[in-house]
Every structure is written in C-alpha cells, then in structure tokens.
Structure 1
Amino acid sequence: MASATVNPTRMELTKLKNRLKTATRGHKLLKDKRDELMKRFLEIVRQNRALRRKVEAGLEQANASFTVASAIMSPEMLEQSLLYPKQSVELNMSFQNIMSVDVPIYEFKTKNSDPSEIYPYGFAMTSGELDNALDALSHVFNDMLELAQVEKTMQLLAQDIEKTRRRVNALEYVMIPEMEEKIKYISMKLEENERGNITRLMKVKEMILEEAHHYNEQEA
C-alpha cells in the first residue's frame, strides 16, 4: 500500500513526479530499442535461413563427391591421400556493436593463397571426385563460418531482446503504476490536509468573531 511506504509531503511529491517523468522517458527509449532489436533480429533470421540452405547444399555436394570417391578408391588410399594436409587456416575474431550488443565478426585467412594447396596429394593415384569433394568443401567453409557468426549474433540479440522486454514490462506494469499510485495518494493526502487547515482557520475565525461580538456587547 502506498500509505504504508510514502511520506505524504510536497517534497516527496516533487521527487516522485521527477522519477515518474524519468521512468516514462526510459520506458519509451527501451520500447524503441526493443522494436529496433526485433527488426534487426528478423533480418538476421532471414539471412540465417538463406545461409543454412546454401551451406547444406554445399555439404551435400561435397558428401556426394566423397561417396563416389570412396567407392572408386580403396579405403587405405583415401585415408593416405588426406593424411597430411598442406593448407592451414587462421581464424580471427572482432566485435561489432548492434544496439549496445557486441556481436562477433569472424574472419579467416589461409596460410597460402594458392587454390591448389587444398589438395594434399598427387593427382596420379586419386579420383577426380575426391578433387571435387575438396573443392566443394573449400568453397562452403567460408559460408559455414558466416553461418556460425550469424547464429551467434541471433543468440546474443535474442538474449538482449528478452532482457529489454523484461525491463519494459517492469516499468510499464510495476514501477510506473506504483509511482502513479503514490503520487495520487500524496496528492489526496495534501488536499485533505489543506481542507483540514482551511476548516480549522474558518473555525478560528468564527471563534475570534464570536469573541469580538461578545466583547462589543459587554462594552455597550
């Protein structure tokens, strides 16, 4: 109850009105942030859907080529061909700020920019399907990395959307109504006290006038 927790004074009323004004402004800003986060989130969801289809198609192509290569080549030859990779990859991570949310940006670079470095074997004893499989994997790798970046971004944005939503609801349904109730209670109390003071002043005035009247009668 407001009456149990609020001191009904004009100073407290002014303080609560200022707090209500700040809370209302903060509520609007948080709602705007939540709406913008939702807009960005839905854009990234669409991007994620397109990237996932592209990655799945690339992996399906690579798996099909590996399946054909494993059918043509012996398991020992296939394992030996891929045993010692020639190419290596270095992964770097930075961050981008989206509506106060730091999302990761993944970048990778290969040790050697020569496209032929993805084949760690000679071509004489291997199948052309194995070449196709490695080529498909090398092309899908960048898309897989971008997909990982997009999915992490989605996760972080979803967490911040939920946190912002809870803050908006707390302001809208708890804090702002409580402050409005307290302001209403203090205003009613102050008006009640003011009416009481006026009543007392009128009573005192009547007593003074009555005493003056009796005094005038005695003098007469």
Structure 2
Amino acid sequence: MRNLAPTKSNLLSVQDELKFAKLGYELLDQKRNILVLELLNLVDQASDFEEKVEHSLASAYTALQDATLDMGRLRVQQLSRAVNMSCDINLKDRRVMGVQLPVVQTQFDDQPPYYSPSETSFRVDGAMQGFKEALELMGRLAELKISIMRLATEVKKTIRKVNALEKIAIPDLNETVDFIRNRLEENERDMFILMKMVKERLERKKEETSHDGNS
C-alpha cells in the first residue's frame, strides 16, 4: 500500500491509476493470448518443415548417389561445373503485436545447364531439383525458428508484466484506494460527530443565556 495522505485528490488520483492499470492488464492479457497462439502455430509449422527438409535432403542425396553410380564421380563433378544457377535470399519482416519477425524469400535464377541431357543421367536433374527445394525449405525453417525464439522471448516479457500488474500493482492500488476511502469516511464521521457536539453545545449555551435573561 502506498503511503499517501487520505485526501480526496489523492483518492481520485489513485483511482485513475487503478483504472489505467486494469486497462493495461486487459490489453497485455490479450497480447499474451495472441502471442501464445501465434507461437504454438509456428511451432507446429516448424515441426512440419523439419520433416520436409530432412525428406528433401535425403531425396536429393539419394539422387546424387544414384547419378554418381550411373556416371561416375568424375563425370558428375564435371557436370556440376556446367550448372548455371544463382540463388538470392531476401529478408523482409512482419509484425505480430509489435514483435518483428523475419520473412525469408528464396529465389533462384536458373539458366539451362551447359550439358547434353542425352549424355546425362536423369538423376542429375533430380538431385539439382531436390537441393533447390531443400534450400528453399531450409530458409523457411530458419524463418520459423527465429520467429519462435523472438515470440517466446516476448511471451516471457508479457507474462512478467501481466503477473506484476495482477499480483502486485493492482492489489496495491486497490488497498490504497480502500485505505484512503475508509479514512475519508472516518474523517467525515468524526467531523459529523464534532459538528453535532458543537451544535448541541451552542444550543445549550443559547438556552442557558435565554434562561438567564428571563431570570
């Protein structure tokens, strides 16, 4: 409880603080719920994308191994130098309840390879496509994991603020309001009793004066 003088102005001030604290608690509680829902959604997505990445990499490496068995390691290495491909990874961001989350966009500039398809195992194309898919999925997985870490950090901060308002600030303000209100009511009762005593004394004094004058 705050150590404040029991005055009406202090009562109004603390009541305003209490209203603001309750509003802040409601908003933070809503923010916490939204962040938790978004966090759980991203965790589910991340789990799915981890499986997709593992499957895509496994398929790409299998296709590369099969191509190596068909054509030989030296021939596959020669073909790898003929691949004309570039990859751009662009980073953007989005916001969820004020939290900045990354958005990873993977783009490929894929030119036709400089080798003859007729002299090349089809598994080479399969391996190339598999590694492209894996790289794109890995970018998305990185986006999800970073988003999860940032959201988890913000959820912890929000929970601490909600708990501080719920368990400390609001009860303290409620106690202060009750204390000031009770003291004001006591003061009013004391003042009423005092005024009543003064009035009765004045009336007795008036009666005594009137009696003395009549005598």
- TM interval, shorter chain, is 0.7 to 0.9
Distance 2:116 2:209 in 1: 130
* Partner residue, 2:208: 214
Distance 2:190 2:23 in 1: 36
Instruction: Judge which range, 167-176 or 205-214, deviates more.
Output: 205-214
Aligned: 1:158 with 2:152:
yes
Instruction: Judge which range, 103-112 or 72-81, deviates more.
Output: 72-81
1:187 to 178, 181, 190: 181
CA contact (8 A) 1:87 1:110 kept: yes
| Count of aligned residue pairs for this structure pair | 214
Distance 1:79 1:172 in 2: 65
1:218 CA drift (Å) = 1.7
Matches within 5 A, 1:54-203: 54-69=52-67, 82=80, 86-112=84-110, 114=111, 116-117=112-113, 129-203=123-197
Q: 1:84 to 1:181 in 2, by over 3 A?
A: farther
1:80 CA drift (Å) = 5.7
Q: TM-score, normalised by structure 1?
A: 0.83
Q: AA paired with 1:7? A: A
Distance 1:94 1:135 in 2: 25
Distance 1:35 1:153 in 2: 16
| Unmatched runs of 5 consecutive residues or more in structure 1 | none
2:198 to 200, 204, 218: 204
Q: TM-score, normalised by structure 2?
A: 0.85
1:72 CA drift (Å) = 6.5
CA contact (8 A) 1:82 1:121 kept: no
1:134 CA drift (Å) = 2.7
Distance 2:100 2:83 in 1: 35
1:127 CA drift (Å) = 6.0
| Unmatched runs of 5 consecutive residues or more in structure 2 | none
1:190 CA drift (Å) = 0.5
Q: Give the % identical residues.
A: 28
Distance 2:92 2:7 in 1: 54
